[in-house]
Structure formats: structure tokens, C-alpha cells
Structure 1
Amino acid sequence: MDIGTQVTFILEGQTYTGTIAKSYTNSYLITFTSPDPAIVDKYHNKVIISQKQGVYDI
């Protein structure tokens, strides 16, 4: 997948939609927003997701 692609992924049991900011060999840096302040505090609206874990193109 290319940078800028909108994707869905699962984080702590919830499904989120985000945008690929950077692509690594086996993972992606994804920027996203969450209404949950605990998730924002923990991840700062960025997360690295393994390609094996699952990132799905919208």
C-alpha cells in the first residue's frame, strides 16, 4: 500500500480508520484519531501496525 492510503485496523479491540504516513519493510506507521482520551494519551494519534496483524484498504 502507498503513503496516503486510508486503511482500517484493529487496536486494543476497537476498529479505527487512519492514513498510512510511512511504509516500512513489514509494517506501516499510521496516523489516526480517537475520541477516547486514554488512546490519544497512549498512542498520540500514531501507531505502527505489522502487515501480518492486518491493515485493510478502504
Structure 2
Amino acid sequence: MRKMLLVKEIYLEAFKDWTYRLLKKYFKAYTWFCFALLLIVIYAFIYRLSTGFAFV
């Protein structure tokens, strides 16, 4: 039983910081994706304004 507890402790210690790094990279990618989508929306809106699209 003691060996199992030691293996568990080593496992937890090894992967403690792993999830933080993964989440940090995920949120960076998500931020850039949202920023790109926002730029597309702004471009589409300006394009529609410049071509005289009726928003009514």
C-alpha cells in the first residue's frame, strides 16, 4: 500500500503544473481566435457600410 501512495504522490507531483500550462496555451489560442473573428465582423460591417447596404 505504501508503494501505491508513493506512486500516486510522484504522479501528482509530475503533472501538477501540466494542466496550468495547457490551460494557459488554450486561452491564448482562444483569445487570438476571438480577436480574428472580431476583425472579420468589423471588416464585414465596414464593407456593408461602404456598399450602401440597407440595414432596415
Is TM > 0.5 for Structure 1 vs Structure 2?
no
Higher helix residue share: 2
Q: Which has the larger radius of gyration?
A: 2
Scaled by the length of structure 2, the TM-score of the pair is 0.17
Report the TM-score when normalising by structure 1: 0.17
RCO higher in structure (CA 8 A, sep ≥6): 1
Bigger strand fraction: 1
